[in-house]
Structure 1
């Protein structure tokens, strides 16, 4: 006699104990699964195509430099929107992810009120009195850029070019809202916002960090004046002062979308298309199985189908042997053989 009868409320009659509740074991049909894969494929591919189309129409210009040679960047009005314009410096083959480099910092000193050799950690070198200790701050990207535009972002000007003044508030607002990350001494440094961005190391050997931006109103004014002057594009002349000696350097200009910058938008597009193709292949595989095998025949139905799958050991194999079905007895015999019960 089993501890718990098969047909009791704690046996096969209980959806909880037999784990047949709908949220536990959903039984989807082949057609439903196949339809879900195809619908998911259409959705992901549509998102990918839309993101890819958006990245093609998104403003993104990058130019490399190695010395003080001026850069000439062309911003076509067909891609320039009435939105903020963001400027970045891009580095390649510069590893900020080295363990020695990352550990060369003193967080307590960054939160302090002054920089002195005395309050720097012993392992944080080189030490200085005019700034934080460590290799991260010592290797700060100190290139500067003078950016001139063929169109003035303010009032009408008689000069063909005008030097743009970028907003350098590029750090996370939370970094300067309190002293939990950067203290008063760090906030009083020159270019504190850009230095705060540099202090947050990148895990990759190639990365972009913000240098500054123009507001939406300034960009809108530039576009309006370019249209009045019947100009198809705005030319930016960038004169870099090359002081940073490491890696390959690039200057980058772009505008944002709902999905982020150009790199993020293109990445989302590629991943969505790949995910859609994978779901489509799953759907095709299910369709081939459905066309080849068809629905499950009723001839495969046995007495075992009357009993939900159970996991508690109180359901004895002897209960199934009493059914009198030869196929069930054969299955039970096979299970006993595998469990070494015979």
Structure 2
């Protein structure tokens, strides 16, 4: 092919280019606006934030304070309570949203089966009797509260197989190869269902319904607590019925007391219906947390004395933790938590205080917008003028160059001036100080902080 033919072919080809398109966005020519911050614009913002945040914080704090709560720590019930006889619970194990002196609680230990303990459990039950000095309006909730339990540990929080929870019958090699359920993925050739540390360590204390002691006329003697709707609806959509058969999976090690060493056709675990596990599987971000266990949406608890039986299955003393029951109502913002309201009030207070201080500073010592005296080169200019004004007996026909190093500005300054006239040069120089000194001017310049001042005829 001749050169003429090659040129004709290349003309038809479009040259590739990595140059960005000639648009305002790609060439960074978009219009921009930067506000000029002045006292007249900034100070009102401080006061506006304070005025807006203060009532919001007050409303949030009020909404939190209207929530009624009772918390009873039953960690030491098995060692401190008497068998069959109610004894007073120490006040250090009690807390309430109202005056704690009005809260009275007792506990006892029994070995009955009213709480339906797991198979293999010794049936130890902690019976807690407490009084409510005020009404708990519906809906109200029963939580269990754990301390010093780190569900946010990296290895713990990753020890779960999502596909298995979604209903897929994952084999032992499947759960073992992904390392998601490590170190509790399988036993031999059979996988654990559900596998992982989270499911294996599920909180398994059991709770009875509330029993009213000497209820007023018309009040219920047994207050039913339900496990329905304690989990998030999104979690219910995630957990599906399994396609495992009893012969293809095993219960986790800590579930053996409930299901035995193997599942059977009659008691194959159904994760889709276990909202308690769904709540537990949503791991907490802090070592002290509360999780919903029961609820009642229709019956308001009148003031009175109630009894709750708890099956003791979950150990906490081994890791220096505690476990408590928390009975609570709710408000428009949920449970009782003063942090958000206090945070809004603190920010509002700081903004108002800072706004007042800055306003006083502006009124006492105002600063003109665009005042060149505050520019760095203008400060050099004023510095040189002070020094040159100290020079006397200068010839008006001569121009002088003054150089000095100031203690606050390490940069060498050079100021050129004709006596009685305006300064025409005052720039920082990056060179060593001159050594031509005029003794009569040195002492007067040093009082302004000048080091090694020199004077030279230009």
Alignment of 1:92-171 (within 5 A): 92-114=147-169, 117=172, 119-122=174-177, 123=179, 124=181, 125-126=183-184, 127=186, 131-150=193-212, 156=218, 161-171=221-231
Within 2, Cα distance between the matches of 1:71 and 1:116? Answer: 44
1:106–1:121 Cα contact (<8 Å) kept: no
Match of 1:317 in 2: none
Match of 1:306 in 2: none
Residue 43 of structure 2 aligns to a residue in which SS? Answer: helix
Within 1, Cα distance between the matches of 2:141 and 2:299? Answer: 12
Q: CA 1:283–1:112 in 2, change beyond 3 Å: closer, same or farther?
A: same
Does 2:51 correspond to 1:51?
no
Q: CA 1:279–1:152 in 2, change beyond 3 Å: closer, same or farther?
A: farther
The C-alpha deviation readout for 1:133-179, integer Å capped at 9, x for no partner, is: 111111000001113242899x947xx731423243211112223xx
Does 2:240 correspond to 1:183?
yes
2:212–2:223 Cα contact (<8 Å) kept: no
The structure with the greater share of residues assigned to helix is: 1
Q: CA 1:293–1:171 in 2, change beyond 3 Å: closer, same or farther?
A: same
Match of 2:299 in 1: 218
Within 2, Cα distance between the matches of 1:135 and 1:98? Answer: 11
Alignment of 1:232-243 (within 5 A): 233-243=303-313
Match of 1:275 in 2: 347
The structure with the greater share of residues assigned to strand is: 2
Match of 1:261 in 2: 335
Match of 1:252 in 2: 326
Within 1, Cα distance between the matches of 2:290 and 2:63? Answer: 21
Match of 1:208 in 2: 290
Residue 270 of structure 1 aligns to a residue in which SS? Answer: helix
Match of 1:38 in 2: 47
2:63–2:333 Cα contact (<8 Å) kept: no
1:168–1:194 Cα contact (<8 Å) kept: no
Residue 290 of structure 2 aligns to a residue in which SS? Answer: strand
16, 31, 34: which one aligns with 1:25: 34
Q: CA 1:152–1:25 in 2, change beyond 3 Å: closer, same or farther?
A: farther
Q: Which has the higher contact order (CA 8 A, sep 6+)?
A: 1
Within 1, Cα distance between the matches of 2:287 and 2:73? Answer: 16
Alignment TM-score, normalising by the size of structure 2: 0.52
Q: CA 1:142–1:45 in 2, change beyond 3 Å: closer, same or farther?
A: same
**CA-CA distance at 1:76 after TM superposition:** 4.1
Within 2, Cα distance between the matches of 1:151 and 1:248? Answer: 27
Give the root-mean-square deviation of aligned CA atoms: 3.5
The alignment covers a number of residue pairs equal to 271
Within 2, Cα distance between the matches of 1:190 and 1:252? Answer: 26
Match of 2:281 in 1: 199
* Uncovered stretches (5+) of structure 2, i.e. residues with no partner: 1-27, 79-124, 244-268, 375-421, 431-458
Within 2, Cα distance between the matches of 1:40 and 1:173? Answer: 37
**CA-CA distance at 1:43 after TM superposition:** 2.4
* Uncovered stretches (5+) of structure 1, i.e. residues with no partner: 1-15, 227-232, 303-325
Q: CA 1:299–1:35 in 2, change beyond 3 Å: closer, same or farther?
A: closer
2:131–2:305 Cα contact (<8 Å) kept: yes
1:151–1:162 Cα contact (<8 Å) kept: no
